[in-house]
Structure 1
């Protein structure tokens, strides 16, 4: 599946995805500020859950897991973008580039798995409220989280496994960082073949996880219908946080991964904007959604500010 182009030995890549940006420093500073807020908000969320034994429950362990995933996800590409825009350093070595591609795709896949298991947690809590803590103990939750990390790692291994064996004909990355399409475009291979292959894999992952989330909510809706009005209000409040997070993540993913394969053409600026929104949006929204809509965490924050 390779062309007749002469391959070259690559030691570093040149990032050209931001060459057309009018005010690169300003854009870089905005990304830097959002990135710092993302990391701080998620770290605070983790610390609240880790140091408060009352929050050592399955739901909060899953929120903590999501916060760790968000930090990994946003940290996979943000530093490179900030360095490129603010400092003007447009080169990245070969191995760090591959690591970045793996970390970015691992974070994206882990995000879908984390949201799926959180939907299942809400279904279990609403459908079996009295048996919930016997079915989903802290130990089982931690084992489930560990299994999902291993599964995510195995699924992500497909990306570097398809890129590493290919010869490279170019050293310039057309996009903003080392994501899979940017690296494939530097190879001498048939780009469409590898794009379509990965698109099928991504579609399967998105379809399975999104369908699982939808089925979980169908189950939740069924149990809400047969519940009292006070229980309905409590259930809707419990699930709204998760729905906000799911919508915030899946919308740009579907546009980038599915619609572009179906013929939707995006300019470089539009693609970069969606990519930035993809790995900065959910990690920024998630901690604030769970802090503001989760009673126990919100109470801890208010108590901390009151003491200060």
Structure 2
């Protein structure tokens, strides 16, 4: 359906991953399963941290915020996919599409900034252990969470405002959600400014945190290497291993979708990578942290046992 200008676009059609009924059914089942597991895993992580006084430290404060962000991030896209499938629809209104894009960009950027704050926290814990609790005061922890939220929302606001100024030649989005690149590609307007800002703001939202993470882990690696015993080195590294796994998964998929040469992009490849960082990473994060962290595993077991006890009363 072609459009003469943006004012005629009242809704978009989300084409999804496939037009084959069987594949669509499989995608619905996968989305529902991953969303349910991811929300439950992240919610349990938050509740376990809140309920256990031993986990009221900066590291777990950041982890609980990361879990909250993961729930919000997946909730911007997956519920709409599920509702559309159940209702037999594939449409989304123009305003809802922009809102989905806004929150998707905002939560994704906040996730990126928060991962760098977590790396800074690990740097202080390992390289400055004697001053760690003094430096990581309640105020500083709050700022390291609030600043990513504010910065991410400012980035998203710029993209959304610029998107409202575009005219669209078609309302058929070859994706399962309102992705910023997919919307830009549908436009009949001059999108040069939009594309530049996707690279500049998107690049800063990914590159700056990534550089900060590398800057944090370089002295960490040096400090761990100087630990005399192998057991001590392993213990020091294990506190960072979970975070490094999450960082690799998150940035690897984002770079694969948004920062590769255009010649390497195909709709199938981009959507497959998008599925990984919109759904799979949010599901894996709580498992990555809980499996490698004895304190968190203990808190989760205690919380689940308490839940069973409360239910029996």
Same fold by TM-score greater than 0.5: yes
Paired position in structure 2 for 1:274: 273
- CA–CA distance in 2 between the matches of 1:306 and 1:129? 34
What is the CA distance between 1:242 and its match in structure 2? 0.5
Q: Which stretches in structure 2 are left out of the alignment for 5+ residues? A: 309-313
Q: Which stretches in structure 1 are left out of the alignment for 5+ residues? A: none
Paired position in structure 2 for 1:184: 184
Paired position in structure 2 for 1:291: 290
What is the CA distance between 1:270 and its match in structure 2? 2.1
What secondary structure sits across from 1:157 in the alignment?
A: helix
Paired position in structure 1 for 2:311: none
Paired position in structure 2 for 1:219: 219
Q: Report whether the alignment pairs 1:258 with 2:256.
A: no
- CA–CA distance in 1 between the matches of 2:28 and 2:178? 17
Post-superposition, which runs of at least 4 consecutive aligned residues in structure 1 deviate over 6 A? none
Paired position in structure 2 for 1:238: 239
Paired position in structure 1 for 2:194: 194
Aligned length: 302
More off after superposition, 134-143 vs 94-103: 134-143
- CA–CA distance in 1 between the matches of 2:270 and 2:83? 19
What is the CA distance between 1:67 and its match in structure 2? 0.5
1:238-262 residue CA offsets vs partner (Å, 9 max, x unmatched): 011011101111111111111144x
What is the CA distance between 1:53 and its match in structure 2? 2.1
- CA–CA distance in 2 between the matches of 1:220 and 1:272? 35
- C-alpha contact 2:116 2:210 (8 A) present in aligned 1: yes
- CA–CA distance in 1 between the matches of 2:86 and 2:252? 29
- CA–CA distance in 1 between the matches of 2:211 and 2:44? 31
What secondary structure sits across from 2:168 in the alignment?
A: coil
Paired position in structure 2 for 1:6: 4
- C-alpha contact 1:27 1:85 (8 A) present in aligned 2: no
Normalising by the residue count of structure 1, what TM-score does the alignment of the two structures yield? 0.91
1:169-222 residue CA offsets vs partner (Å, 9 max, x unmatched): 322222221111222233221346533431232223222111111111111011
Q: Report whether the alignment pairs 1:46 with 2:56.
A: no
- CA–CA distance in 2 between the matches of 1:302 and 1:181? 43
